[in-house]
C-alpha cells in the first residue's frame, strides 16, 4: 500500500472514503497535457536538465513523448534513460502549493518500431496539431517506463504510489465533468453547500465552496468563525457520471434541509 500523510489534528471521526492516490494520479495524468521533463545533462554531468514536455498516455498510463533528435533533452535521454516528469493541474490556480501534482520517475527510451503506430495514435489523440510535424525524419516517439511515482494532493497530503498500482488504476469517471460540477454548485447552490457541511460534516460556516468532486464524494472549503477550514463529504452512494452526481446531491440537500427544520 502507498504511504499517506494528512495534515491537521487527529480526529475520532472515521475517514471519509476517497479515491486512492493511484487513482488520483491517473486522473491528474488524464487531465493533463504538458509536464516538465527532467533529464540528466550531458553538458554538465550529474545535473538535472528541465524541459517543457507535451505528452500522451497509453493504456497503462505511461507517458508517450514526441521529441526531435536536435533537442537537448533527447540527446540526454539517449545517453541516460533515467528521467522524471512533473505534472500539475491544467487549470491556473492562485495557490499552486495547495493544488495536486505528480512526479513520475522512470526510464525513457524510443518506442519499438512495431509499437510506433499505436504510440502515434495515443499522442495525436491529445495533440492533434502535432500531425504537421509528426512524420518529420528527426522526430520519434519515446515512452517512459514508470518505476515509481510521488503524489501530492495539497498541503500535508502526499505519498509514494507503486508503479503497478498506478498502471492498474483508472481515471475518475467524473474527471471531465468535475470543473463544471464545482462551478455550478458554487455559482448556483452556494447556500446548499453550507447546509451540506452542517448536515454531513458537522461544521457550521458562513460560506462554503466546492473545491473538488469525484466518484466517492466532494471537498469543501469553509469560512467558519475560526477561519478557513476544509471538509470532505462522502456521497450517499458511488456515482459514475454527471447525471448521477446531480441526483445524489439533490437527495443530500433534501436530507440536509429536513434536518435543519
Confidence band, pLDDT 50/70/90 cuts, at residue 93: low
Q: Is the pLDDT of residue 102 over 80?
A: yes
Query: How many CB atoms are closer than 10 A to CB 64?
Result: 24
Query: What would the pLDDT profile of 179-204 be if each residue is shown by its tens digit?
Result: 999 999 999 999 999 999 999 999 99
**Rg of the chain over CA atoms, in angstroms?**
21
- Block residue for cell numbers 525513457: 108
Interval 10-33 mean pLDDT: 85
**Mean pLDDT, residues 228-233:** 92
pLDDT at 97: 75
Instruction: Note the pTM of the prediction, 2 decimals.
Output: 0.87
CA distance 68 to 189: 49
Q: What is the pLDDT of residue 13?
A: 54
Residue ranges in the chain assigned as alpha helix (H):
21-31, 72-79, 116-126, 163-168, 178-188, 190-201, 242-260
8-state DSSP, 133:
T
pLDDT of residue 91: 72
CATH fold of 21-168, please? Answer: Pnp Oxidase; Chain A (2.30.110)
pLDDT at 233 over 90: yes
With bands split at pLDDT 50, 70 and 90, how would you rate the model's confidence at 135? confident
DSSP 88: -
| Domain(s) of CATH 2.30.110.10: residues in the chain | 21-168
Q: What share of the chain is helix, strand, coil (3-state, %, to 5)?
A: 35, 35, 35
**Pairing outcome for strands 56-57 and 82-87:** unpaired
Per-residue HEC secondary structure of 145-196 comes to: EEEEEEEEEECCEEEEEEHHHHHHCCCCCCCCCHHHHHHHHHHHCHHHHHHH
**Closest among 233, 138, 173, 241 to 26, alpha carbons compared:** 173
Comparing 14-18, 73-77, 81-85, 213-217, which segment has the lowest mean pLDDT?
14-18
| pLDDT above 50 for 6 | no
Confidence at 92, pLDDT banded by 50, 70, 90: low
Range 200-233 burial, b when 16+ CB lie within 10 A, else e: bbebebeebbbbbbbbbbbbbbbeeeeeebbbbb
Q: Rounded mean pLDDT of 7-33? A: 80
- Are 173 and 242 contacting, i.e. CB atoms less than 8 angstroms apart? no
Predicted pLDDT at 246: 97
Question: pLDDT > 70: what percent of the chain?
Answer: 93
Q: How confident is the model at residue 250 (pLDDT cuts 50, 70, 90)?
A: very high
pLDDT tier at 237 (50, 70, 90 boundaries)?
Answer: very high
What is the predicted pLDDT for the residue at 157?
85
Instruction: Domain 178-260: state its class.
Output: alpha beta
Contacts of 233 (CB under 8 A, 6+ apart): 16, 196, 197, 200, 201, 217, 218, 219, 220
Amino acid at each position: 500500500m502507498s504511504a499517506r500523510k494528512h495534515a491537521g489534528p487527529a480526529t475520532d471521526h472515521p475517514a471519509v472514503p476517497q479515491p486512492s492516490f493511484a487513482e488520483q494520479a491517473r486522473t491528474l495524468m488524464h487531465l493533463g497535457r504538458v509536464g516538465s521533463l527532467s533529464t540528466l545533462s550531458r553538458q554538465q554531468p550529474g545535473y538535472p536538465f528541465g524541459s517543457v514536455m507535451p505528452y500522451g498516455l497509453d493504456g497503462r498510463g505511461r507517458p508517450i513523448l514526441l521529441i526531435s533528435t536536435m533537442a537537448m533533452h533527447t540527446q540526454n535521454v539517449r545517453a541516460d534513460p533515467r528521467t522524471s516528469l512533473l505534472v500539475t493541474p491544467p487549470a491556473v490556480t492562485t495557490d499552486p502549493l495547495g493544488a495536486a501534482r505528480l512526479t513520475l520517475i522512470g526510464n525513457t527510451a524510443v518506442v519499438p518500431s512495431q509499437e510506433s503506430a499505436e504510440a502515434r495514435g495515443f499522442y495525436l489523440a491529445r495533440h492533434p496539431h502535432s500531425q504537421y510535424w509528426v512524420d518529420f525524419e528527426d522526430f520519434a516517439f519515446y515512452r517512459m517506463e514508470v518505476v515509481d511515482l510521488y503524489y501530492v494532493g495539497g498541503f500535508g497530503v502526499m505519498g509514494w504510489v507503486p508503479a503497478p498500482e498506478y498502471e492498474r488504476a483508472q481515471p475518475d469517471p467524473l474527471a471531465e465533468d468535475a470543473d463544471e460540477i464545482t462551478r455550478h454548485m458554487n455559482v448556483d447552490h452556494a447556500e446548499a453547500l453550507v447546509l451540506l457541511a452542517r448536515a454531513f460534516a458537522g461544521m457550521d460556516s458562513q460560506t462554503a465552496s466546492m473545491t473538488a468532486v469525484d466518484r466517492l464524494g466532494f471537498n469543501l472549503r469553509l469560512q467558519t468563525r475560526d477561519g478557513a477550514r476544509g471538509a470532505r463529504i462522502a456521497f450517499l452512494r458511488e456515482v459514475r457520471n454527471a447525471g448521477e452526481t446531480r441526483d445524489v446531491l439533490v437527495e443530500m440537500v433534501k436530507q440536509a434541509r429536513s434536518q435543519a427544520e
